[in-house]
Amino acid sequence: MLKRNDCTVKPLAAVVVANVVATASLSTLAQEQPLLEEIIVTAQKRSESLQDVPISVAAVSGERLRDAGLQRFEDVSAYVPNFSVQKDPIGDRINIRGIQSGNQAGFEQSVATFVDGVYRGRGVQARFAFLDIEMLEVLRGPQGTLFGKNTIGGALNIRSGKPTDEFESEVSLAYNPEFKETEIQAYVSGPLSNTLSGRLAIMSRQMDEGWVDNRGYGEDVPDSDELAYRISLEWAPTDTTLVEFKYEDGDWDVVGQPLIILEAGTLAAFGFSGGRDFNTVMTNDRSVTAALTGIPEPAWGDDGPIDFGSANLFEGDSSELALTVNHTFDNLGTLTAILAQSEYDFTRALDSDFGPLPISRFDDSEDFEQTSFELRFASETGTALEYIGGIYYHESSMTVDGLSYLNNGAINAILNVSCAAGGGVQVAALSDPFASLIATVNANAMLPTPTTAATANSCGQAALLAGLPSVPGGNRYSVLDQDTDTWAVFGQATFSVTDTVRATLGVRYTEEEKEADKSANAADYAGGNTAPTANPAVVLVTSIIGEFTPHDIRGLSRDEESFTWSANLQWDLSPEIMLYGTASTGFKAGGFNSFYFGEPNGAGFDPDDAEFEEEEALTFELGAKMSLAQGAAELSVAAFRTEYDDLQAAVFTGGTTFTVENAAEAVTQGIEIDGRWQLTQNVLLQGSFGWIDFEFDSFTSQACTNLQFQTFREGIWAGGANPLAALLNNGDCSDAGVNDLAGSVSENTPEFQASLAATLTQSIGTYQLLATLGLNYSDEQFRAGDIDPITLDESFVKVDATFTLGPESGAWDISLIGKNLSDETTINYANDTPLFPGTFQAALEQPRSIAVRARLFF
C-alpha cells in the first residue's frame, strides 16, 4: 500500500542497554543507550537506508539545513567532502571530485541536479532548488545508468517537502545586519480532504548591502531580491495509487557582484592597485574614470552605450510544472510516471572589462524551455531478484544571445597611456595601418631600455587603430539558437548470490540530436543595437578589437549515441558492516560553443570549430558502510579512481572570446569519509574528510598564464623583427601548447577537505537549547583554469556556529547564526581581465557575519 508520507528518519533500533555517564558533579546517572536515526535516501530511485546504498552518497536533511541556517548550495558544500560550488560572473559551477563544467552556455553540466525526479540540466534551473527541502543527496562519481547523461561527475538528488496527513506550518524570519539581508520562509501543509493533501512553501530574500564596496558607483554589492514559491498536491484515489502535482515559480533581481581587482597589472599605469580588500572600482562612467585618473573626459570616448549605472545587473524568472503518478501492483512493484515542463529566462548586463575604465559592456540573455517524461517500473524489494527499468524522453529549446559594446575612444586612450608607461614611443599613424604598426614597433625597439612585449602590443595596437577609419566604437552581437531531443532506455537488476552477497548490473542507451543556428555580426555603436552595420569601418574596427569574423551559419547539427553501464558487488561482512565494489561509466553530451566568433580580425569562420564532442568517464570505487558503537555511530568510507577522456575545455583568449575543444584527458582518485556519532543523548558529532589526487594526463591547449603569454609574444616579436606579434592573443599561445597542463591539477580542486560539526541539545528549565559548532577546512586551490599562481587561494579554516533557544513545547524559537566567524578572506573565482594583460579580477566570499532568526510553529 502506498503512503503519502514516507518518513525521512526513523529509529535504527530500540533502546538496548543503560549507560552510566559522568555528570558535572561526578555523580552517575543511568541513561538510555544513544542511537542514531536512520537516513532514508532515493539515490537508486527507490527508498533505501543510506547505509544500504552501495555508492558514495552524502545526505543532508532539510532539518539540518534549517537548524544550521544553510541557505545555498555553496553553504552545504563546506560539509560534504570532494564537493564544491563556485559562483562566477557568468554562472555557478558545481564540482565533484575535481570535475566541473566551464562557464559558457553551450556546455551541459558535469554534475546534474534532479528535484523530485525531474532533471534540471541548466545551472539557472537550480537557483530555487533549496526551497523547502526535505533531503539533499550528493551522489559522487558517474551516475550514467539510472540518472543518465550529464552526470559524469555526479548528481544532486533533491527531495522537496511533501504534503502531510496532519496540519502543520512554520514561519521563519531572519535578519543579517552586516548585509542588511532579510529572509522570510514559510510553509503550510495538511489534508484538504480524505484523499487530498497540499503544501504551500514560499521564500523571500532581500539583501540591501553586500560585502564589497564598489566606489565607482557608490554601491555595496551584491544587493539582491529573490522571491519563490511552490505548490504541492498529493491525491490518493486508491490505496495503491498516488498522484503528485507540483508547481514552482521564482524570480530574482541582482545588482552588482563582489568582484575586486586582484592584481593591477596594466591598470597600474593609471594609478590603480590590486589586493584582497573589500572595496573595488568598477565603472563604465567616464566622468568617474576621469576623476580617478586625471585624464580628461573627452579622452575616454563615448560612454553612453556602455554605462548602465552599475557593474552588473542580473534578473530573470523560472518555473516548473510536474505531474508524478505512482501505482503499486500487489507483490510485483511500483510503476512511476513523471511528466514535467520547466523554463526560465534571464537578462544580464556586465561591466565586462571588470575595472575602472569605460572600455566595454556585455549584455546577454537566455530563454530556455524543456519538457521531459520518464516511465519506470521498480520491483518489490526483499526478493532474490530486484530490478528497475524504464524509458526517458527529453526535449529542450534554448536561445542565447550576447551583445558586446566596445568603446573605441577609450581603448585608444588606454593603449597610448600603456605604451608610454612601458617606455614606448607612439608614432603618428600612417595611411597604411600595418606600416604604422611596423614603424611603431621598430621605434620602440631602438629605445635604450628594452621594451616588453606588452609595450609592443600597446604601442602597436594604438598605431594600428589610429591608422584605421575613425569610429566611436562598435557592437558585436551573437546568437545561438539550439534545439535538443534526447531519449533513453535503462535497466538495473540486483541478484542475491547468497544471503550476504548481492550483484548489480545496470545499462543505459541514449540517443541525442542537437540542431542549432549560429550567427555573429558587427553593429553600430549604440545602446541595444544589434542590427548589422552598413559601415565597413565599424566592421573592421569591431572585428579587430572583438576578435571575430561576422558569420551566419544555419543547420548546424550533431547526433550522439551512448551506451553506459555499471556493475556492483555488495557483501554484508556482518550485520554492522557492508563492503562494496563498483565499476561504472558516464558521459557528458557535446554541443556548440555559444562564445565562438570565428577567427580573430576577420580571418574566417569554420563551423567545425564551433562544435565540440562528448566527454566520457570510467570509474572504479571500493567502499564500506559501518554501524558502530551498538548503533550509536556510522562510518562510510569510499576510495575511487576515475579516468576521463575528451574533457571539454573553454580556453579564454585573453581578450573577449572563448574557444572550446575536447582538449584533455585526466585521472582523479582519492578517498571520502563521512561519519556520525551520537555521543550521548544530547551530543551528536558529524564529520567528513576528502582527499583528491587530480592530474591531467594530457592538456596541451589550455590558455596561457599572463607571464607565459608575455614571454611567448616576446619570442615571436624578436626585438621588432616580427611586428605582427603585437596582434597575437592568448588563443595563439594556447594553440602553440605553451601551457601544457599534463601532470597538473584542476581548478577549484583542493587536495584535502575536512569538516567537523558538534550539535548539543540541552534542556534549560522549560526551554531547550540547540547549539551547533562547525569547523570547515579546505586546502589551497587554484581559482582559474590556467592554474596561474596569482589565482591560488590559500588553505583556510572557517568556523560557523548556531544557537537556538525555544520552549520545549516547540511553539517558537529564536536563533543566532554565525558564519565564517574566523573571518577568513577567501575567493571563489579569479580570471584574467579581458583586454588588460597582467590584470586579474576575483570574487570575494562573504566575511564574518551574524544573523538573528525567529521561527513560529503551528
CA distance linking residue 300 with residue 306, whole number of Å: 12
According to the model, what pLDDT value does residue 595 have? 80
3-state class of 817 per DSSP? strand
Q: What is the mean pLDDT of residues 382-389?
A: 93
3-state class of 88 per DSSP? coil
Preceding peptide of 222 cis, ω within 30°: yes
User: In 3D, which of 100, 101, 133 has the Cα closest to residue 115?
Assistant: 133
CA distance linking residue 486 with residue 355, whole number of Å: 42
3-state class of 294 per DSSP? coil
Q: What is the mean pLDDT of residues 499-513?
A: 96
pLDDT in tens, 174-212: 999 999 999 999 999 999 999 999 999 999 999 999 999
pLDDT in tens, 37-48: 899 999 999 999
CA distance linking residue 837 with residue 625, whole number of Å: 51
Q: What is the mean pLDDT of residues 272-298?
A: 91
CA separation (Å) from 104 to 113, 594, 665, 685? 18, 7, 20, 40
Q: What is the mean pLDDT of residues 5-13?
A: 36
Q: What is the mean pLDDT of residues 3-14?
A: 36
H/E segment holding residue 555? strand 551-574
According to the model, what pLDDT value does residue 719 have? 58
The percentage of the chain sitting over the pLDDT mark of 90, rounded to a whole number, equals 63
CA distance linking residue 274 with residue 258, whole number of Å: 14
The contacts of residue 740 (CB under 8 Å, 6+ apart) are 699, 700, 702
Rounded to the nearest angstrom, the gap between the alpha carbon of residue 555 and the centroid of all alpha carbons in its chain is 30
According to the model, what pLDDT value does residue 457 have? 56
Structure letter (DSSP) for residue 427: P
Cell numbers representing residue 99 in the block: 570535475
According to the model, what pLDDT value does residue 675 have? 95
177: left (phi over 0), alpha (psi -120 to 50) or beta: alpha
Structure letter (DSSP) for residue 532: B
Q: What is the mean pLDDT of residues 227-233?
A: 97
Q: Is the pLDDT of residue 449 over 60?
A: no
According to the model, what pLDDT value does residue 657 have? 73
According to the model, what pLDDT value does residue 281 have? 93
pLDDT band at 660 (very low <50, low <70, confident <90, very high): confident
CA separation (Å) from 641 to 53, 245, 743? 19, 40, 16
Q: Is the pLDDT of residue 755 over 50?
A: yes
Q: What is the largest CA-CA distance in the chain?
A: 97
According to the model, what pLDDT value does residue 733 have? 85
Crossing angle of helices 706-717/453-466, nearest 10°? 70
Average pLDDT over all residues of the chain: 86
Q: What is the mean pLDDT of residues 28-36?
A: 62
Q: Is the pLDDT of residue 349 over 80?
A: yes
Q: Is the pLDDT of residue 453 over 60?
A: no
3-state class of 84 per DSSP? strand
CA distance linking residue 335 with residue 413, whole number of Å: 68
Question: Residue 202, class by beta-carbon neighbours within 10 Å (0-12 exposed, 13-18 middle, 19+ buried)?
Answer: middle
Q: What is the mean pLDDT of residues 290-319?
A: 92
CA separation (Å) from 333 to 346, 383, 423? 42, 11, 79
Buried/exposed 144-169: b ≥16 CB within 10 Å, e otherwise: bbbbbbbbbbbbbbbbbbbbbeeeee
Q: Is the pLDDT of residue 25 over 90?
A: no
Query: What are the residue ranges spanned by the domains of the chain?
Result: 9-412+472-703+739-857
Q: Is the pLDDT of residue 399 over 80?
A: yes
According to the model, what pLDDT value does residue 89 have? 57
pLDDT in tens, 672-727: 999 999 999 999 999 999 999 999 999 988 888 888 887 887 787 665 556 666 66
pLDDT in tens, 834-846: 877 788 999 999 9
According to the model, what pLDDT value does residue 721 have? 58
φ/ψ (deg, to 5) at 782: -85, 145
Q: Is the pLDDT of residue 110 over 50?
A: yes
User: In 3D, which of 337, 386, 625, 373 has the Cα closest to residue 506?
Assistant: 386
Is-contact 221 258, C-beta < 8 A? yes
Could you give the angle at the alpha carbon of 358 between the alpha carbons of 357 and 361, nearest 5°?
Answer: 120
pLDDT band at 833 (very low <50, low <70, confident <90, very high): confident
Q: What is the mean pLDDT of residues 489-506?
A: 96
User: In 3D, which of 249, 65, 245 has the Cα closest to residue 172?
Assistant: 65
Lowest-pLDDT range of 360-369, 470-479, 549-558, 834-843? 834-843
Question: Residue 296, class by beta-carbon neighbours within 10 Å (0-12 exposed, 13-18 middle, 19+ buried)?
Answer: exposed
According to the model, what pLDDT value does residue 823 have? 96
According to the model, what pLDDT value does residue 148 have? 85
Q: What is the mean pLDDT of residues 754-758?
A: 95
Region 9-412+472-703+739-857: CATH code: 2.40.170.20
Q: What is the mean pLDDT of residues 785-804?
A: 94
Cell numbers representing residue 602 in the block: 576577420
Cell numbers representing residue 185 in the block: 520562509
According to the model, what pLDDT value does residue 432 have? 44
According to the model, what pLDDT value does residue 293 have? 87
Q: Which residue matches cell numbers 540573455?
A: 365
According to the model, what pLDDT value does residue 86 have? 76
CA-CA-CA-CA dihedral for 612, 614, 620, 626, to nearest 10: 100
pLDDT in tens, 51-104: 999 999 999 898 888 888 887 777 888 888 888 887 765 556 788 998 887 667
CA distance linking residue 4 with residue 192, whole number of Å: 13
pLDDT in tens, 510-525: 999 999 999 999 999 9
CA distance linking residue 305 with residue 530, whole number of Å: 12
Q: Is the pLDDT of residue 475 over 80?
A: yes
Predicted model pTM: 0.88
CA distance linking residue 392 with residue 561, whole number of Å: 14
